[in-house]
Amino acid sequence: MGIKENVERIKSLLPEGVILVAASKSRTPEEILEAHQAGIDIFGENYVQELLTKYEKIGNRVEWHFIGHLQRNKVKKIVGVVEMIQTLDNLKLAEELEKRFSRVDKIIEVLIEVNIAREPQKAGVLPEDVIPFVKEVSERFSYIKIKGLMTMGPFVDNPEKLRPLFRETKKLFDRIRDMGIKNADMEILSMGMSDSFLIAVEEGANMVRIGTAIFGKRPY
């Protein structure tokens, strides 16, 4: 099946109100525009240089999110390019975001990345540290707007194994939302990828990041 058919199939499976983000790492501008024509508006990129190359060709015809590990020294390059950063997980990065976005007087929306499975090699805030982190970011930084949480989950042979992790993330999300923290609009819970998005949605995700199921296997 082509990109258009894949997008239509995925959209037919998603309940109303779930936002579909196309994970477009290593995809061509042509593929991205084809997915956009098929009805996807938001594209998530993992690498700053690759994002900038695509932005030169596509510009603001689509909405760009950053979904990879963001190095502090690259932040200045994505100001004015991305609408959201889904991977905020440390204060040093938050300080750099505040510095760069305050200079252009633009608020940057972020999701807090949660390392729900406590994988030592993975980025993300540990579950027990998420609430203090959200509080500190929301109190200290006026150009950062927290919009919710994001989690990746580990690579597993059976996506069902992710269900308890997604459920735990949703509980954390609800807890923070119920606290009513100023400057933290808990609107988005970004969980689930090509092989796990249906389980994530069942467990409360309202944003999914899908690459392979839209574009096919990556060309390496």
CATH architecture, domain defined by 3-215: Alpha-Beta Barrel (3.20)
pLDDT in tens, 133-174: 999 999 999 999 999 999 998 999 999 999 999 999 999 999
Cα–Cα dist 64/53, whole Å: 13
Residue 14 phi, psi dihedral angles, 5° rounding: -90, 135
Q: Are 153 and 166 in contact (CB under 8 A)?
A: yes
Mean pLDDT of the chain: 97
In this prediction the pTM is 0.96
pLDDT one-digit tens code per residue, 52-107? 999 999 999 999 999 999 999 999 999 999 999 999 999 999 999 999 999 999 99
> Tens of pLDDT along 12-43?
999 999 999 999 999 999 999 999 999 999 99
